[in-house]
Structure 1
């Protein structure tokens, strides 16, 4: 892959710095509100439902991804300082979506308010949405230009591509970015992920994608981490939270029962009985619960994991040689390089332990003291 000119990477770094400064001025951590028996405030679950509703509407209208990201950002900024009744939530959401469309879309592509209200089924009149739009603008001081997680995702992806790194796997650049954008839209509908900054969420998503398709994912992650001037410990925590959220299906009910289904060659016959000491449990009939979902546990994961661990070990040896004090040029590396090196070494050591050990956050069990 042909690398771009250095000035293009400088321009991307400048865009990243400007986006980070806007985020630092306007971003506030999401504080989940306690449910009220009087139904006087929007709950986190209702907020997530409104975001999923906007995502479905956005897909039907075929608008830019930036429109949905900005609409969710406006919605969160508006709901944070006020108490809004749930019955007005759809009117608020469609007003945020209309403001984002007028900001991001071309003039000829912006749907008229009457058509948008009719297509969304929000049960609001045009005058009601217009009044809500003016109220949102007043609360946000007419400042809608904020840095969304999608902005950071696009900048990080462009930095990787401009550096000549082979992170695309199969498909084109646009297909790879579209896949990451869909994952980010899934994350925006989870209120627990709004407690982290959009830049950190985008970098964690990029880092997880790099880990799945690149052997030098850690070096690339550290490079992006230093450019964004973020904390490595915060990145590790966000990666773990994001990986858990992406591995679960939000559409499944909380009482879902999973059934272990072995490969066809290992499945027992209809008359097979299991002794009490058998480690394999019998198959559960699907009629026990209306929301049963079957899945097959793959046995190739452990072998693949061993190969990944060996590759990561070789990479860590290179990192050690890279940061060896004997290989540093005389006179040191300047005043500001020590912090980045310490941050990179800390990230390497912690992620190395996560790769080699168990993924469980619990400490090892200790024997109980004698009475």
Structure 2
């Protein structure tokens, strides 16, 4: 039996269906990263190393005051790249920061985009701007030049909007989107 949605909720179905339609083309494949973390001698990429890199991307996000969407897109780009290419752990920082820089350029206003030198300095990485730019091009090529993609944060925002429209006024005050995103 199909439940009838309120009119406000129906208008959210179009963006949700659009995101769901894009997701299969942009979502990383689960089988790409090895799950083991020990006895790698630092030569293989693991899910644990990927997790450390994602945590490292939080620092420049917070330092520059970027949106959660920027961080979410950076993680999406990183994952899409890691699951297409074999990356040595020593290059992971450059891949992560270039994914982050692409996300910043894509989501933030142009006046808020930091210089590559500042981004490298703040992130405390030991590579040059030319390395970052070269890696940025490699990432773009491997994601088929499609930077924008549905992110977990976009789905979270749609769910939050749907919940907000269907709860009482008293409950709305207790729901905080910033806490939910964090």
Given the alignment of the two structures, is residue 168 of structure 1 paired with residue 172 of structure 2, yes or no? yes
Q: CA deviation at 1:169?
A: 5.0
Partners in 1 of 2:136 and 2:11 — Cα distance? Answer: 35
Q: CA deviation at 1:130?
A: 0.1
Say whether the 8 Å CA contact 1:40–1:85 is kept in structure 2: yes
Unaligned runs of 5+ in 2: 1-5
Work out which structure has the larger RCO, using CA pairs closer than 8 Å and 6 or more positions apart in sequence.
2
Partners in 1 of 2:99 and 2:11 — Cα distance? Answer: 30
Q: Secondary structure at the match of 2:30?
A: coil
User: How many residues are paired up?
Assistant: 173
Instruction: Identify if the C-alpha distance between structure 1 residues 162 and 131 changes in structure 2 by more than 3 Å, giving closer, same or farther.
Output: same
Partners in 2 of 1:66 and 1:55 — Cα distance? Answer: 12
> Superposed, which structure 2 residues align to 1:1-371 within 5 Å?
6=7, 8-31=8-31, 32-33=33-34, 34=36, 37=40, 39-166=42-169, 167-168=171-172, 170=174, 176-182=176-182
Alignment correspondent of 1:233: none
Partners in 1 of 2:68 and 2:168 — Cα distance? Answer: 25
Q: CA deviation at 1:95?
A: 0.3
Unaligned runs of 5+ in 1: 183-371
Say whether the 8 Å CA contact 2:29–2:83 is kept in structure 1: no
| Higher normalized helix content (fraction of residues) | 2
Q: CA deviation at 1:38?
A: 5.4
Say whether the 8 Å CA contact 2:61–2:71 is kept in structure 1: yes
Alignment correspondent of 2:3: none
Partners in 2 of 1:12 and 1:105 — Cα distance? Answer: 24
Instruction: Identify if the C-alpha distance between structure 1 residues 39 and 181 changes in structure 2 by more than 3 Å, giving closer, same or farther.
Output: same
Say whether the 8 Å CA contact 1:41–1:86 is kept in structure 2: yes
Q: CA deviation at 1:164?
A: 4.2
* CA deviations over 1:46-86 (Å, ceiling 9, x no partner): 11111111112211111111000000000000001221011
Say whether the 8 Å CA contact 2:28–2:79 is kept in structure 1: no
Structure whose CA Rg is larger: 1
Partners in 1 of 2:105 and 2:168 — Cα distance? Answer: 36
Query: Taking structure 1 as the reference length, what is the TM-score of the superposition?
Result: 0.44
Q: Secondary structure at the match of 1:168?
A: helix
Q: Secondary structure at the match of 2:114?
A: coil
Partners in 1 of 2:40 and 2:62 — Cα distance? Answer: 34
| CA RMSD in angstroms, aligned pairs only | 1.9
Partners in 1 of 2:143 and 2:28 — Cα distance? Answer: 13
Partners in 2 of 1:110 and 1:125 — Cα distance? Answer: 18
* CA deviations over 1:129-170 (Å, ceiling 9, x no partner): 000000000111101221111000000111111234454353
Query: Taking structure 2 as the reference length, what is the TM-score of the superposition?
Result: 0.87
Say whether the 8 Å CA contact 2:93–2:125 is kept in structure 1: yes
